[in-house]
Structure 1
Amino acid sequence: MQLPEQPVAGQPDPTDRAEVLKLAHAVESVLLKEMATYHRDEAPLPKVGSTPPVEQPGRASMSAKAVDRNVTILTSSALTAVAGGAVSLVLWTSGHANETVIAWICGGIVGVPVALTLPALALKGLLKGVREAAEAAPAPVTNHFHGTVHHDERTVTSTTRGVIANSRNQLPK
């Protein structure tokens, strides 16, 4: 029996099958290469305790207080620059720009917030210190007794002497 030269209906051509197998092999080899691209760090983790933290690359770490102050400084400087620029632009466009006037206005824009901010910051620090002192103080102890209460104020003195000594501290009756 001879093989037909034309493929049977519904059956793949042998050359197509070989091309499909080549394509499947190429896809599998690419997927295997992609799956193998990983790195596992086998180095032991640092011990928790006295090991100092390692500084990471980039911006230096800051405390929360330093971050708050940094944000305050950056926002106030931006607001000051915008306000001073707006005043200078208005004076320059109106034709009444005088260096002395601009200096006084810009000084007022910088000086007034500083004059208002410094006492507020000092008061904030004072209140924070008062709050911390109040939190550190021991809580008052209040005892409430119901019924008959007898307060005994007698003192006991004892003397112990000898190689084998017994102390019998008993209140006299």
Structure 2
Amino acid sequence: MDVNRYTRPRTESEATLEAKRIITEACQPEPQFPTFHRDDTERPPVGDAPPVRQDDRRIVPAWAAGIAVASIGVGAGCTGLGCASWLLFNGLSEVSVPGLERFAAVIIAPFAGLALVITAAGVAIHHAMASTTTNNTTHIYEGPVTQTENNEKTETRGFMVWVRKQVN
């Protein structure tokens, strides 16, 4: 390897040759690659049955909806706790006689954030327990059919929202 090639200045002829090499290299067309492929071969038949319409009936399972609601609640609660801690540290840094009212609000803010998290968890648990999935199943019965009418009375009580159902 010629070390002097990189350290010494080039002569006029070397510079001209290098410039021509760079220009011809830059002006070379880039190689073209195919960007798509189409297969025109005939598809083999699988059977003689006509195609059947298959409706898209996606149903979110109860556990997935519960996790989504809980994660939103936890995220909101963590944001509230972060804001509360920011307020706490700002309040502690500015404690003075006029700033005591703001300091009292800073002391209450973490408890409000904790209450938000507990409420969100309670709502998520309630929605997860109350949601049901509908099955699109058709049954064909052979025999006598009786129809019964049920009247449901629901009563909601308490902080954690427990639901009692009475069927008459």
TM-score over 0.5 (shorter chain): no
Using CA pairs under 8 Å that are at least 6 residues apart, name the structure with larger relative contact order, 1 or 2.
2
Q: Please identify the structure whose Cα radius of gyration is greater.
A: 1
TM-score (norm 1): 0.31
